[in-house]
Amino acid sequence: MLIYVVNSLEMQIMGGLKMKNKSLTMLLILTLILTALTSCSTTDDLNGNTDNKTSTENEKSSEKVETVSKDNEPKEKDSQLSIDEEVVFNEKDIRITLKSFESGGLFGPEFKLLIDNDSDKNITVQVRNMSINNIMIDPIFSTDVMSGKKANDGITIMSRDLELFGIETIKEVEFVFHIFDSDEWETIVDSEVIKIVVKGAEDYVQIFQEDGELIYDGDFRIIAKNLSGPDFGMIGLDLFLENNSDRYVTIQTRDLSINGFMIDGIFSCDITPGKKAFDDIAFMESDLLDNGIEKIEEIEFSFHIFDGESWDTIEDTPTIKINF
């Protein structure tokens, strides 16, 4: 649940303020994270300690998914990881050079960049659709570069996200650059997929935390894991999602109810082809209390899956019912 709230705050701060004062922004984010960590409490009163029993109208969803957890033991320490310096983008009179990799940043590992803006426009450079070791992740990066100027900056990966997603070593990274006019807010270009291979991590094997109950199967696999929170007054149903299709998709929920009461759920997850994601369906703790719900016994909802580029509907799933 902390993932959703803090990532939302990061996007508002980094995108809305457009990084006019990065030092102040970073300090504010750190304060928010520390506040969140110290205010966390358990949801025993809401969900108890019983195991999930999941049912769905989709017959494929009756399969229990279990995985054997293993300790990853990368041969190289993080301090020995590196990347080759290279120009990763060179279009529209804008050149972006990948300079170095630093594993010990204040908030987490950083990929250092040099941006040359030889165009006649003031630009903002951001990152979209990032994955690390095939797991979708939200980085911190948004840089303004005036016409004719250069800027050094870094794509920051939050250490807390790496820990939550079970990523012990960064091996492979993919993302696209989203570049737009800082004055007009018009898109200048969205790059092709940028791929970075980290040297020193060749032998690392990523283990995916797929424990839980399979609630939907097909081109998209979705596993319900557990309830989390409350954080910032929000409860979350943690999910593991996998996109085995060749389309960039967005997955949302529809018609969510808890113990028979309609509740407004917050969930929208973007997944690129062949990637996996950890996310949660969020709902307000106050909504539960307003409906007299002291313990979550049952959640019902359906998934609405659509193409993230054309917005065409791909599938509306049958109703999924989870008992606690």
Neighbours of 42 (CB within 10 A): 12
Domain ranges, ordered by start, for the chain: 42-67+208-323, 78-197
Per the CB < 8 A criterion, the answer to whether 156 and 113 are in contact is no
Percent of the chain with pLDDT over 90: 70
The model's confidence at residue 68, banded by pLDDT at 50, 70 and 90, is very low
Looking at this protein, which amino acid is placed at residue 218?
Answer: G
How far, in Å, CA of 212 to CA of 208, rounded?
12
Q: Tokens at residue 230, please?
A: 């409350």
Give the residue carrying structure tokens 């951001």. 126
CATH code reported for the domain at 42-67+208-323: 2.60.40
The model's confidence at residue 146, banded by pLDDT at 50, 70 and 90, is very high
pLDDT tens digits for range 251-296: 999 999 999 999 999 999 999 999 999 999 999 999 999 999 999 9
**CA 116 → CA 21, 89, 145, 190, 195, distances in Å?**
20, 10, 8, 16, 20
The model's confidence at residue 30, banded by pLDDT at 50, 70 and 90, is low
What's the chain's average pLDDT?
Answer: 83
pLDDT tens digits for range 239-250: 999 999 999 999
Greatest extent of the chain over all pairs of C-alpha atoms, in Å: 61
Cα torsion 79, 84, 89, 93 to 10°: value is 110
Per the CB < 8 A criterion, the answer to whether 255 and 223 are in contact is no
Asked whether this chain's domains 42-67+208-323 and 78-197 adopt the same fold, the reply is yes
Determine the pLDDT at residue 4.
43
Determine the pLDDT at residue 103.
87
Per the CB < 8 A criterion, the answer to whether 261 and 293 are in contact is yes
End-to-end CA distance of the chain: 18
14: pLDDT strictly greater than 50: no
Determine the pLDDT at residue 287.
95
User: In the CATH hierarchy, which fold is given to the domain comprising 78-197?
Assistant: Immunoglobulin-like (2.60.40)
How far, in Å, CA of 64 to CA of 214, rounded?
6
The model's confidence at residue 105, banded by pLDDT at 50, 70 and 90, is confident
25: pLDDT strictly greater than 50: no
Determine the pLDDT at residue 229.
83
Percent of the chain with pLDDT over 70: 76
pLDDT tens digits for range 301-314: 999 999 999 999 99
How far, in Å, CA of 228 to CA of 186, rounded?
39
73: pLDDT strictly greater than 50: no
pTM listed for this prediction: 0.76
Q: Find the mean pLDDT for residues 214-229.
A: 95
Determine the pLDDT at residue 125.
98
Determine the pLDDT at residue 47.
53
Q: Find the mean pLDDT for residues 159-182.
A: 96
Higher pLDDT, residue 102 or 104: 102
65: pLDDT strictly greater than 50: no
Determine the pLDDT at residue 41.
42
Determine the pLDDT at residue 70.
41
Higher pLDDT, residue 70 or 209: 209
Determine the pLDDT at residue 230.
85
Q: Find the mean pLDDT for residues 15-27.
A: 43
How far, in Å, CA of 263 to CA of 212, rounded?
23
